[in-house]
């Protein structure tokens, strides 16, 4: 499901000035002072934008009000925008709605659009999606691109109208054909998710590109992801980081994290831990949990930043507070080793259990150790085996070795040499941090020497079965 705010265009619209020279300005001022509504509106717009003339919001409002009070719809919309933004007048959503409605009731598409936005957001009126859609439709039927986009988005989400992907695509396409970047992005999302259209990553990437080239940050992020995974385009990490950089520069937090990860790993860019820290920090300061965790890790090892266990703990704690399991595991390791904190095995186990219960394989592995060794709790080999099994099924080779050894000795599980052989064999194919592939193979082969020919045949059969189970992702039981 797409985020609601990413679906909606909520910009304010005022008419653009056509005054280009001092002579034009003098002539139009004379017309405005003589009562020309068009000239009064143009004078207001010239002062509002200050293009070639001193910008003066208060003067803009004065001229717009003169025309608006005489019933000029465009001036009424523009005066509403001034109240909406608090430009030249104190911000007043109620007054903005009043002027937008006067313009909208005259059929002005800008006023209809802006009034729809007010109902959409509940600014100056009670939020009412059905009323917002009514006004968007009136403006969209006049070919107003942002209204076409918002109407299509309403159909896409089922806001104010029954969800209808066909109508969503129709209105979004009309807006996209007018180069509305948000509509182009939303069409890309429809093709990515297969909502109302056949899933088509190439078409999705094409739409993302059109929006991205207009500077739409979320589309730049999506296009970068498409290049990262090769969805609809040829996989190209240089292109991925190019688009992420553009999005990150606009403050898109996921893009900032991705740029940090790219610089940390040297994928798509030259490896640079200092730049990785800079990007992670930008994302972390926006509350991105994975960025907080990654920044903490850089501080822990002194990569790209001075080694600082206090800073590492700070960032890991922020990530853990958001429920990130890997940060919980890291805090457990910190307490276990006494880095930046007093050594406290009980706290270590508490953090590891929290990580493990969220499915973190490293946490599950350490809980297996904790239960087996009696760290902060009584020894419990049965629970240890259960934790090792959970980690082993996620491909954690060290846990596979430990589980295999427990089966070979009958610790916490019924002794089963075939099962022991199978887990050791699987670990020999993967390799872990503590036990590499050679260690696991050595344990498997030593066990094999103790088995009869018949037992070894059974063990190899079970090993083949376990490999198939692993490749299929194991059962969820």
Give the pLDDT of residue 54: 86
- How far is CA 216 from each of CA 194, 223, 456, 467, rounded to the nearest angstrom? 22, 11, 62, 46
pLDDT exceeds 80 at position 354: yes
Which uninterrupted H or E stretch holds 67? helix 57-68
Please write the tens of the pLDDT for every residue from 387-415.
Answer: 999 999 999 999 999 999 999 999 999 99
Please write the tens of the pLDDT for every residue from 360-392.
Answer: 999 999 999 999 999 988 999 999 999 999 999
Closest of 230, 182, 229 to residue 207, by C-alpha? 182
Residue 126 CB neighbour total at 10 angstroms: 7
Q: State the Cα–Cα distance between residues 336 and 278, nearest whole angstrom.
A: 29
Give the pLDDT of residue 2: 42
* Mean pLDDT of all residues in 184-206: 97
- Answer for the pair 273, 285: CB distance below 8 angstroms, yes or no: no
Q: For the chain, how long is the longest CA-to-CA vector?
A: 110
Q: Which of 2-11, 256-265, 390-399 has the lowest mean pLDDT?
A: 2-11
* Mean pLDDT of all residues in 183-203: 96
pLDDT exceeds 70 at position 15: no
Q: Using the structure block, give the residue that is written with the tokens 């206090």.
A: 310
Q: Is 200 exposed, middle or buried (0-12, 13-18, 19+ CB in 10 A)?
A: middle
Q: State the Cα–Cα distance between residues 335 and 182, nearest whole angstrom.
A: 48
Phi-psi region of 216 (alpha: psi -120 to 50; beta: other; left: phi over 0): beta
For 412, the token pair is 């916490």
Residue 460 CB neighbour total at 10 angstroms: 16
Dihedral over Cα of 357, 363, 369, 373: its sign: negative
- Answer for the pair 368, 360: CB distance below 8 angstroms, yes or no: no
Q: State the Cα–Cα distance between residues 326 and 405, nearest whole angstrom.
A: 26
Give the pLDDT of residue 474: 79
Q: State the Cα–Cα distance between residues 185 and 172, nearest whole angstrom.
A: 9
At residue 283 the predicted structure's pLDDT band, cuts being 50, 70 and 90, is very high
Which uninterrupted H or E stretch holds 168? helix 165-176
Q: Which of 164-178, 267-281, 353-367, 457-471 has the lowest mean pLDDT?
A: 457-471
At residue 1 the predicted structure's pLDDT band, cuts being 50, 70 and 90, is very low
Dihedral over Cα of 233, 235, 239, 244: its sign: positive
Give the pLDDT of residue 12: 44
Q: State the Cα–Cα distance between residues 425 and 461, nearest whole angstrom.
A: 11
Cα angle 54, 57, 63 (rounded to 5 degrees) comes to 95
Give the pLDDT of residue 177: 97
Give the pLDDT of residue 318: 98
Q: State the Cα–Cα distance between residues 407 and 413, nearest whole angstrom.
A: 6
- Answer for the pair 244, 258: CB distance below 8 angstroms, yes or no: yes
Residue ranges of alpha helices (H) inside 302-416 are 309-321, 325-337, 345-357, 361-373, 381-393, 397-409
- Answer for the pair 462, 447: CB distance below 8 angstroms, yes or no: no
Q: Which of 42-51, 224-233, 446-455 has the lowest mean pLDDT?
A: 42-51
Residue 214 CB neighbour total at 10 angstroms: 15
Q: Is 412 exposed, middle or buried (0-12, 13-18, 19+ CB in 10 A)?
A: buried
Give the pLDDT of residue 28: 85
Give the pLDDT of residue 22: 63
Residue 2 CB neighbour total at 10 angstroms: 17
Give the pLDDT of residue 167: 97
Q: State the Cα–Cα distance between residues 345 and 335, nearest whole angstrom.
A: 7
Please write the tens of the pLDDT for every residue from 31-80.
Answer: 999 999 999 998 898 899 887 678 999 999 999 999 999 999 999 999 99
Q: State the Cα–Cα distance between residues 476 and 459, nearest whole angstrom.
A: 24
At residue 430 the predicted structure's pLDDT band, cuts being 50, 70 and 90, is confident
Give the pLDDT of residue 18: 55
Residue 253 CB neighbour total at 10 angstroms: 19
Mean pLDDT of the chain: 92
């Amino acid at each position: 499901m797409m985020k609601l705010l990413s679906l909606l265009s909520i910009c304010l619209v005022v008419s653009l000035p056509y005054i280009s020279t001092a002579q034009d300005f003098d002539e139009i001022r004379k017309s405005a002072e003589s009562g020309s509504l068009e000239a009064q509106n143009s004078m207001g717009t010239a002062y509002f934008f200050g293009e070639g003339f001193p910008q003066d919001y208060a003067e803009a409002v004065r001229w717009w009000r003169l025309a608006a009070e005489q019933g000029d719809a465009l001036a009424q919309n523009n005066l509403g925008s001034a109240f909406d933004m608090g430009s030249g007048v104190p911000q007043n959503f109620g007054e903005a709605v009043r002027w937008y409605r006067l313009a909208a009731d005259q059929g002005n598409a800008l006023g209809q659009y802006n009034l729809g936005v007010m109902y959409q957001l509940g600014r100056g009126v009670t939020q009412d999606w059905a009323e917002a859609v009514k006004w968007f439709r009136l403006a969209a039927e006049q070919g107003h691109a942002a209204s076409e986009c918002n109407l299509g988005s309403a159909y896409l989400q089922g806001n104010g109208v029954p969800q209808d992907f066909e109508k969503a695509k129709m209105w979004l396409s009309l807006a996209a054909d007018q180069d509305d970047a948000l509509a182009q992005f939303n069409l890309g999302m429809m093709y990515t998710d297969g909502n109302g259209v056949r899933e088509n990553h190439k078409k999705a990437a094409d739409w993302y590109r059109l929006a991205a080239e207009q500077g739409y940050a979320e589309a730049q992020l999506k296009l970068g992801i498409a290049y990262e995974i090769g969805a609809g385009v040829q996989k190209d990490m240089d292109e991925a980081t190019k688009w992420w950089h553009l999005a990150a520069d606009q403050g898109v937090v996921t893009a900032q994290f991705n740029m940090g990860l790219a610089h940390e790993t040297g994928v798509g860019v030259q490896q640079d831990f200092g730049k990785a820290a800079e990007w992670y920090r930008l994302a972390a300061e926006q509350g991105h949990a994975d960025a907080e965790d990654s920044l903490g890790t850089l501080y822990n090892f002194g990569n790209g930043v001075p080694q600082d266990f206090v800073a590492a703990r700070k960032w890991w704690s922020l990530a853990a507070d958001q429920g990130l399991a890997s940060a919980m595991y890291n805090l457990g390791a910190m307490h276990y080793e006494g880095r930046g904190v007093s050594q406290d095995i009980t706290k270590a186990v508490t953090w590891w259990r929290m990580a493990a219960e969220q499915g973190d394989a490293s946490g599950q592995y350490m809980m297996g150790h904790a239960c087996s060794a009696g760290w902060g709790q009584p020894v419990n080999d049965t629970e240890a085996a259960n934790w090792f099994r959970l980690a082993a099924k996620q491909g954690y080779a060290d846990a596979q070795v430990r589980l295999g050894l427990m089966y070979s000795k009958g610790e916490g599980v019924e002794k089963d040499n075939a099962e022991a052989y199978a887990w050791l064999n699987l670990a020999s194919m993967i390799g872990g941090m503590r036990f590499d592939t050679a260690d696991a193979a050595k344990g498997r082969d030593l066990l094999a020497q103790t088995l009869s020919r018949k037992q070894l045949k059974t063990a190899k059969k079970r090993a083949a079965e376990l490999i198939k189970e692993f490749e299929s992702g194991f059962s969820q039981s």
